Amino acid sequence: MLQTMRNNAQGMIAKVIVGFIIFVFAIWGVESIVTLGGGPKPAATVGGVDISAEEVARAVQQQKNELRRQFGEQFDENLFNDQMLRDSALEQLINQTVAKVQADDMGLRASTRLIDEMIVATPAFQSDGVFDREQFVNILRINGLTPLAYRAQLAESLKVNQARAAFILSSFTTPLDVKLQQALANEQRTISYYSVSAKDLTASVELTDEDVQAAYEASLENFMTPESVAIRYVEISRASIEKDQDVSEDDLKLAYEDHVAKLAAAEERSASHILLEIKDDRDEAQTLSLASELKARIDAGESFAAIAKEYSDDKGTADVGGDLGINLRGTFDPAFEDALYTLNEGEVSAPVETEYGVHLIRVDHINVQEIPSQDAIRDELAAQVRKEKAGFAFAELTQEFSNTAFSAGSINELADAMNLKPQETGLFTMDKGEGVAAEEKVRREAFTDNMKLDHELSSVIDLDDRAIVFSVSDYQESVAKPLAQVRAQVEARLTREKALAAANEKAQAILAGDESVEWKTATGTVAQNMGVARAVQQRAFTLAEGEADVVGTPEGYSVVKLDNVDRKDWNDMEVTEEAAQASRMQRSREDMISYQAWSKSVTDIAR
């Protein structure tokens, strides 16, 4: 389609339109047109809550990280289909969002006190068994979270768990249920069985050339080569223009001023606080009044730490004098932080109201970073200026690259216009490539029909600090590998199939009584390991006494006969606490599955 537009974009009207588009891009950027479409489309919408493509991408990355932890050095990302991981991640996010939507519809809430208690009791946030505020903040910072963001996540989790607990904990079983389940669980069955191994029959399998040819043709889809392409491309990069950027003294001065401002913003303050929660027996006015009284006592010389220990409702810090540790800007509630950063060292604030209650805040120490001289960091500043200038220059170059590519008819024409050198890749598949073909977005576009079949020029592909435009220079269709190349695979599969068929035929003959064999016996309950194939044991507990059947197993086929059923009288079963607990757990699992299915069925989900 783009090639057709290029071919037709020659008339005066077309040139005016293109000129207008270029003007809009230059003044307002691509977003000026893209945002007219209403922004990026969510991956799914669940009960009015959007799940963004970025959330799905993060979930996929988390899955890959988990797989890396499981498989270690043996992990190969190419073995896992990205679409499969994406579908799995999206389904997981949908289920999580359904649970949140249902919890909100039920009006569930998580109290501040409960959140505090959970944080304080989390072993990862403790040192020597005691909550460590600094460790808590550091762990969150490593994971890209602030205390407020973590509290919000914890609140969501608590609400969802409340909804689940409402169903799980309300499950119950009667003594009769327990006795019946006990009777079934203790029922013993005695079976006779005979296993026919396909492997033992492999040697007797004979294959003709006709058999192999027919099997090959019947399963060609198993022997197809993946389609592949090679591309010819031109590339622009930020690194290629960064080294050529000039740096003036004025540039260095502005960069130094920005650096000083950042150091000031990174100022750390260690603080302590006293939290007074607004409770049923103490309204807002009374809480503010108490805070003012405590402030007066502290101003009069009483120990801040002693008052914190006696009065503070923050269980995580009360026993350590309200110590909050060292914190950066952005750690606390805005009202709390505004007060914290207006205080001098050692000063105690007036009562401060936040969503958690009323605080008295004391600044214990202000850690101001040492500001180096401009000359001391001159090289660092110069590198930063070049990088920033290269960023602007690269953005302009990318716009020129896009405009020129739109009107170019080939990679060579684009290369000549931009003074770039064309490059080429080897053949690569949809799942794997090297160099620029290692980028998923390049592979995805290269295998679209207009690229691989019509050899059009691609759009500009943004690869972080570089960008490329390409066309497909070679396309290899998916074709069946010749029989000579896969004959061993075909013969192995066909031999296995014929051996299995022979095993089934023999098992059926044994079942019909046409063959005499030496039977083996086994006895056990449904939960015990009877020493037989799982499929044999499962079938044994669905047969009526005296019945027999043939079942498939990983090794071949087995004949199973149910000889005897030792039934237990439910009246003789004892309702032990252990049995009752097991029955409740089973019922709880069933109720949880039922609740999840119901939640999904009544929630609007658009993918």
Q: Do 350 and 300 touch, CB atoms closer than 8 A?
A: no
220-224, 260-264, 402-406, 426-430: range with lowest mean pLDDT: 260-264
Is 506 exposed, middle or buried, given 0-12, 13-18 or 19+ CB atoms closer than 10 A? Answer: buried
pLDDT of residue 349: 95
Query: Among candidates 370, 369, 371, 332, which has minimal Cα distance to 352?
Result: 332
pLDDT of residue 265: 64
Q: Pairing state of beta strands 520-524 and 268-276? A: unpaired
Q: Do 468 and 436 touch, CB atoms closer than 8 A?
A: yes
CA distance 465 to 484: 47
pLDDT at 108 over 80: yes
pLDDT of residue 34: 37
Higher pLDDT pick, 527 / 560 = 560
pLDDT tens-digit readout, 408-429: 989 999 999 999 999 999 999 9
CA distance 312 to 212: 82
For residue 568, which amino acid is it?
Answer: K
CA distance 134 to 115: 18
Query: Among candidates 234, 247, 231, 254, which has minimal Cα distance to 397?
Result: 234
What percent of the residues of the chain are helix, what percent strand, and what percent coil, each to the nearest 5? 55, 15, 30
pLDDT of residue 467: 92
The percent of residues above 70 in pLDDT, for the chain, comes to 90
Split at pLDDT 50, 70, 90, the class of 35 is very low
pLDDT tens-digit readout, 245-257: 888 888 888 888 8
pLDDT tens-digit readout, 499-532: 999 999 999 999 999 999 999 999 999 989 999 9
47: left (phi over 0), alpha (psi -120 to 50) or beta: left
pLDDT tens-digit readout, 168-195: 778 788 889 888 888 888 899 999 999 9
pLDDT of residue 464: 79
Is 28 exposed, middle or buried, given 0-12, 13-18 or 19+ CB atoms closer than 10 A? Answer: exposed
